[in-house]
Amino acid sequence: MSALLQYLVSGIAVGCGFALLASGLVTIHRVTRVVNFAQGMFAVVGGMTAGSLLSAGLPPGAAEAAAVAVAGGAGLAVGVVATGRRGTSPQSALIVTLGLGFLAYAAEIMIWGDNPRSYPGLGGAVTVFGAHVQKQSFLVIGVTAVVFALLAVFFGRSYAGKALSACASNPYAARTMGIDPLRMGLVAFALGGALGGLAGVLLTPLQPISYNSDVLLITNGFAAAVLGGLNRPAVALAGALTLGVAESLVAGYGEASYQTVVALALMLAIMMVRASRRTALQEEAAR
Amino acid sequence: MSVSVRNSPRSSGAHAGPARRRRPAPATLGAAAVAVVALLVPVLLPATQVSVYVLLLLAAIVVVGLSMLMGFAGQVSLGQASFTMIGGYTAALTATHGLPTWLGLLLAPVVAAACAALVGVPLLRLRGHQLAFATLAIQLILLSLVGRLEWTGGDIGLQGVPRLQVAGYEFAEEISYAYLALGALGLVVLVTRHIVTSRPGRGLRALATSEVAAASSGVPVAVYKQAVFSLSAGFAGLAGGIYAFYIGYVAPGSFPVLLSFEYVVMVVVGGAGTIWGALAGATAITLLLQLLNDIGTREGMPASAPTVLSYAVYGLLLVVVVLFLPRGLVPSATAWWDRRTASKPMEG
């Protein structure tokens, strides 16, 4: 029983990380229709930067915040390259973000080397009903809850958030109201970068990351986001939590190396079920 | 081979006239020249460089198939190396279990194509970025499984794959594998060319633009997509089979996700949907990587220099080509050439 609770909490914590990543993916996709392959890279950049800043002597908290800002900057840069040139189709932009991911690999290896890195987050563990749970897990869950609440307020109440939603639902109508979809796309990329960076900052103390962790992170984030058709953050949150818990249970009761297999199989199943409900005509009309 | 690019409606049609009729001759000459050079290269290269050439040819075999999938069927596969892997393991398993090695080489493309056909039934309902992620997921699953299972040798892989033997002749020398790979590439190019210029080829191009429009014109969309997916997987499997006999061992580490991305880079840089583009892309990227590797391993360079350089160049090439030469090197170059030759008679 205590083991189950332990797996559940750590699964939810990891799932929260995926949820942040996925919400960044959703934010960018809603506004720009670009599936950002470099989303996992933001998490790696965030985590690595936080580690470096902490070891450089910045106080905890400030280092993490700075790392999230750096990841947001990386997001903005990716957005400028991927969508800045007029007439880049979302399909080509996917390949461009793949290329930017490679460029980031080069920079990351130059700066941080190719070994996995980690740093102590919120140290220690607490015992709840006989289950040892790392304090960092609770921190991840708490921060994610706050961030999702803030996102809901941002998209529902603030002017900038409403402008982003307007571009998502109808770019043409948004433009007639004086909103520049291109600029809003860049805002979405910066926001997505910051969310990805936050995921990296929170997850790195739980599981060490290296420069090529981004492939697994992006596939997990995509798996979570695709549940809501890449357009609904709340569904992505639910998907990410399911994914995190499923992986944690497989790793706990089965074998750790099969946890990604389970996650990926889940993603494939979801995509196929969704695809069977949509015809080619609907998809081409949506383009 | 020579008319692969010329016959596509994109490069013809718009520029009818005298220039159009003259063109096949230089194109045939060009193809012949490339073939002669390709045949001579293994003899002229120093023995240590032949391995680069063999790997280049194997990459080209995969890229021709992937280029057909991406350019003609409009589907991006980010997991093409999984079929190379299936081919390699099929050949290695057959050969290490005492069966004749030629059977292994024969089975490699067949098994890879069969796997693709099986996986393709549910997978090809997906399109665009969903298919890209799904193929990537398939490869990650496959890598994870192969690294765990006992009969595939786990993470260590299968070692001691015997040399290929066909009708008493043993492929023992490096150079014999160069000609084997060249022959395979020739076969793959011929098959692709025949498909591309045939009626199904036109159907494929139609469905790449709009599946609905193609289906309403009587193109069996699902069957064609499935066939191209299996065929491109078969090509990848063939390359994997030759690779297994050439290198002598296969392991999950020989077919990383990065290899799949590398194939995509080659297709995009060369130009999707043209055979010449695939060949040029594979050649350019392989040579460039080799050059970077030489620079990176010079004295005074840090140990990580080769990796950093190759990643940086992959990234830069992908971004620059997609943004500024979206059709790829070869189609852009031929379009430029067409414009030049088409404008000349008018001036004169």
At B25, which CATH number? 1.10.3470
Separation CA A220–CA A214 (nearest Å): 10
pLDDT at B284: 87
In a domain, A124, yes or no: no
Q: Looking at the complex, report in whole angstroms how far the Cα of residue A163 sits from the nearest Cα belonging to chain B.
A: 26
Closest-approach residue (CA) in chain A for B213: A281
With a pLDDT cut of 90, the percent of chain A lying above it is: 5
pLDDT at B344: 61
**Domain containing residue A214:** 2-114+134-286
> Residue A81's pLDDT band (boundaries 50, 70, 90)?
confident
Secondary structure element (H or E) that encloses residue A279, with its range: none
Among A102, A257, A258, whose Cβ lies nearest the Cβ of B314? A102
Domain count for chain B, please give it: 1
What residues of chain A lie within 8 A of the CB of B304, using their CB?
Answer: 109-110, 113-114
pLDDT at A124: 67
Residue with token string 């580690």: A51
pLDDT at B233 over 90: yes
Asked if the Cβ–Cβ distance from B319 to A99 is below 8 Å, we say: yes
Among A96, A275, A284, whose Cβ lies nearest the Cβ of B323? A96
Asked if the Cβ–Cβ distance from A102 to B138 is below 8 Å, we say: no
Phi, psi of B339 (to 5 degrees): -60, -40
∠ at Cα A92 (A83, A67), nearest 5°? 50
Among B137, B264, B309, whose Cβ lies nearest the Cβ of A267? B137
Question: Residues near B18 by Cβ (< 8 Å), separated by ≥ 6?
Answer: B345
Whose CA is closest to A101, among A24, A183, A36?
A36
Average pLDDT of the residues of chain B: 80
∠ at Cα B329 (B323, B330), nearest 5°? 140
Mutate to test the interface with A, among B149, B322, B324, B325 (most CBs of A within 10 A): B322
pLDDT at B123 over 70: yes
> Residue B3's pLDDT band (boundaries 50, 70, 90)?
very low
Among B122, B136, B323, whose Cβ lies nearest the Cβ of A272? B122
Separation CA B282–CA B263 (nearest Å): 8
pLDDT at B239: 92
In a domain, B8, yes or no: no
> Residue B83's pLDDT band (boundaries 50, 70, 90)?
very high
With a CB-CB cutoff of 8 Å, which residues 26-85 of chain A face chain B? 35, 81, 85
> Residue B61's pLDDT band (boundaries 50, 70, 90)?
very high
C-alpha B271: how far from chain center: 12
Separation CA B325–CA B222 (nearest Å): 30
Q: Confirm if A282 and A229 have CB atoms less than 8 A apart.
A: no
Distance between start and end Cα atoms, chain B: 32
pLDDT at B317 over 70: yes
pLDDT at B17: 44
Amino acid at position A231, single letter: N
Distances (CA, A) of A230 to A13, A196, A223, A234, B129: 21, 15, 9, 11, 11
In a domain, B3, yes or no: no
Q: Confirm if A252 and A7 have CB atoms less than 8 A apart.
A: yes
pLDDT at B24: 55
> Residue B7's pLDDT band (boundaries 50, 70, 90)?
very low
Average pLDDT of the residues of chain A: 82
Q: Confirm if A26 and A162 have CB atoms less than 8 A apart.
A: no
pLDDT at B45: 74
Phi, psi of B161 (to 5 degrees): -70, 125
∠ at Cα B262 (B258, B268), nearest 5°? 140
Separation CA B120–CA A268 (nearest Å): 12
Q: Provide ipTM, 2 decimals.
A: 0.81
Among A106, A276, A284, whose Cβ lies nearest the Cβ of B315? A106
Kindly report, residue by residue over A49-80, the tens digit of the pLDDT: 888 888 888 888 888 888 889 999 999 988 88
In a domain, A223, yes or no: yes
In a domain, A58, yes or no: yes
CB atoms within 10 A of CB B114: 17
Task: Tell me the CATH number at A217.
Answer: 1.10.3470
Distances (CA, A) of B327 to A35, A64, A146, B8, B277: 21, 42, 45, 14, 10
Kindly report, residue by residue over B235-294, the tens digit of the pLDDT: 999 999 999 888 888 888 888 888 888 898 888 888 887 888 888 888 888 888 888 888
pLDDT at B114: 92
Domain count for chain A, please give it: 1
Q: At what angle do helices B275-296 and B174-196 cross, to 10 degrees?
A: 150
pLDDT at B6: 39
Whose CA is closest to B241, among B92, B24, B116?
B92
Q: Confirm if A265 and B141 have CB atoms less than 8 A apart.
A: yes
pLDDT at B11: 41
Average pLDDT on B76-104 reads 86
Q: What is the CA radius of gyration of chain B?
A: 21
In a domain, A225, yes or no: yes
Q: How many residues does chain A have?
A: 287
Average pLDDT on A210-227 reads 82
Asked if the Cβ–Cβ distance from A96 to B318 is below 8 Å, we say: yes
Q: At what angle do helices B221-247 and B101-123 cross, to 10 degrees?
A: 150
> Residue A193's pLDDT band (boundaries 50, 70, 90)?
very high
Q: Where are the alpha helices (DSSP H) in A85-179?
A: 90-112, 135-157, 159-169, 171-176
Closest-approach residue (CA) in chain A for B130: A271
C-alpha A17: how far from chain center: 7
* Residue B140 in contact with partner chain A when CB distance is under 8 A: yes
C-alpha A190: how far from chain center: 12
pLDDT at B1: 36
Average pLDDT on B105-109 reads 87
With a CB-CB cutoff of 8 Å, which residues 237-276 of chain A face chain B? 255, 257-258, 260-261, 264-265, 267-268, 271-272, 275-276
Amino acid at position B12, single letter: S
Q: Which residue has the higher pLDDT, B58 or B159?
A: B58
Average pLDDT on A4-24 reads 87
Distances (CA, A) of B152 to A262, B4, B138, B143, B161: 20, 40, 17, 11, 13
- Can you spell out the DSSP letters for B124-190? TT--HHHHHHHHHHHHHHHHHHHHH-TTTTTTT-B--PPPPEETTEE--SHHHHHHHHHHHHHHHHH
Average pLDDT on A111-131 reads 72
pLDDT at B13 over 50: no
**Domain containing residue B204:** 18-347
pLDDT at B9: 43
In a domain, A65, yes or no: yes
pLDDT at B63: 92
Is residue A13 helix, strand or coil?
A: helix
Asked if the Cβ–Cβ distance from A268 to B138 is below 8 Å, we say: yes
* Residue B174 in contact with partner chain A when CB distance is under 8 A: no
Kindly report, residue by residue over B16-60, the tens digit of the pLDDT: 444 445 555 666 777 777 777 777 777 777 777 788 888 889 999
Separation CA B331–CA B235 (nearest Å): 23
Q: Looking at the complex, report in whole angstroms how far the Cα of residue B247 sits from the nearest Cα belonging to chain A.
A: 26
Q: Which residues pair with A132 in a beta bridge?
A: A127
pLDDT at B348 over 50: no
Q: Confirm if B281 and B266 have CB atoms less than 8 A apart.
A: yes
Whose CA is closest to B82, among B231, B188, B240?
B240
pLDDT at A123: 67
Secondary structure element (H or E) that encloses residue A58, with its range: none
